[in-house]
Amino acid sequence: MKNVFKRCLKLIALFDSSNTFNLDSNYIKDNIPEYRNLNDAAYKRSFERDKALLKEVGFNLEYENDKWSVEDGYKLKGTNIILDLQSKSGFDIERFINTYSVIKKYLSPYLQLNKDLKVIPILNTAIKERRRVSFIYNDKLRKVYPLGLRFHAGIWYLGADDGKIVKTFKINTIENLKIGNKENLHTKNISEFNFSWETMSSFITVEIISDNDLHRVHSRIFNFTEVSSKENEENITIKLKTNDHHGLIKYLLLVEPKLLNINKQDKEALKRAINGI
């Protein structure tokens, strides 16, 4: 597994240094030493396995074969999640990939991460670049403009403009997802609408001390606003505000932080969420 991580890191570095043009399969094989001496079949298996791992942690290697494009080949997309993490001081990508591979083993049976993570990088790209996507949802073809993603009560949701009406779709129900080629097709913003549960839940504010690595890995499972934070090499002290009660509960169970401050009213709201009220 360590060799797989090294190959993945070299792939990221290769695309990062060549981000102005697409890379074909032969170029990738020649420039990654671990691929170079493999026969075609072995190389294809290794490359596909590495692509799958990279996609799951936010790096999406897509093959572009557009008739209007000058060059066919692979391009690195959907990197906004990783780039956001890298902007944090002391972020170690190799440690992150190792940690992710461990927690995925335990989370995937419960959160359907394997299926969700295949479409989330594509949706993130569509949201960031304001593209249209199409997919089958409840046996019906939908063509929508994705606006945002939320994790709520153990399920990922997509908020999207569907015929000028903002609708919420369960990620794990989306089939045959395709992304359009044109960018900047709309000007709508995620802040302009609420997901269905956001109008029903009151905001909770908590202050905690958490392990830095655990916070970075698990903070993506729920939606929150960071009020304030302070980090050292091992821990982060963070005050956050959220109306995703179930997501907060899941985060607290996974991270096991030290709770510094929560008022009585917010504590009662969390108890109601736990009890399904």
Residue 144 confidence class, pLDDT cut points 50, 70, 90: very high
16 closest CA partner among 63, 81, 83, 100: 83
Residue 116 confidence class, pLDDT cut points 50, 70, 90: low
What phi, psi does 183 have (nearest 5°)? -105, 165
**In the predicted model, what is the mean pLDDT of residues 9-21?**
73
Note the pLDDT of residue 209. Answer: 93
On whether the CB atoms of residues 180 and 131 are closer than 8 A, the answer is yes
**Rounded CA separation 195/104 (Å):** 26
Q: How far, CA to CA in Å, does 202 sit from each of 67, 69, 124, 184, 238? A: 50, 49, 27, 34, 20
**What tens digit of pLDDT does each residue of 206-242 get?**
999 998 888 887 887 777 888 999 988 889 999 998 8
> What's the start-to-end Cα distance of the chain, in Å?
44
**What tens digit of pLDDT does each residue of 38-72 get?**
888 888 888 888 887 777 666 777 776 654 444 67
**In the predicted model, what is the mean pLDDT of residues 134-147?**
92
**What tens digit of pLDDT does each residue of 155-193 get?**
788 889 888 888 888 888 898 999 998 888 888 876 666
Domains and CATH numbers, the chain: 2-107 (1.10.10), 112-193 (2.30.30.100), 201-274 (3.30.70)
**Rounded CA separation 166/188 (Å):** 10
**What tens digit of pLDDT does each residue of 247-258 get?**
788 888 888 888
**Rounded CA separation 7/47 (Å):** 9
Angle, alpha carbons 202-205-211 (nearest 5°): 135
Residue partners of 173: CB distance under 8 A and separation at least 6: 137, 138
**In the predicted model, what is the mean pLDDT of residues 64-86?**
62
Q: CA neighbours within 13 Å on the CB side: how many for 97?
A: 22
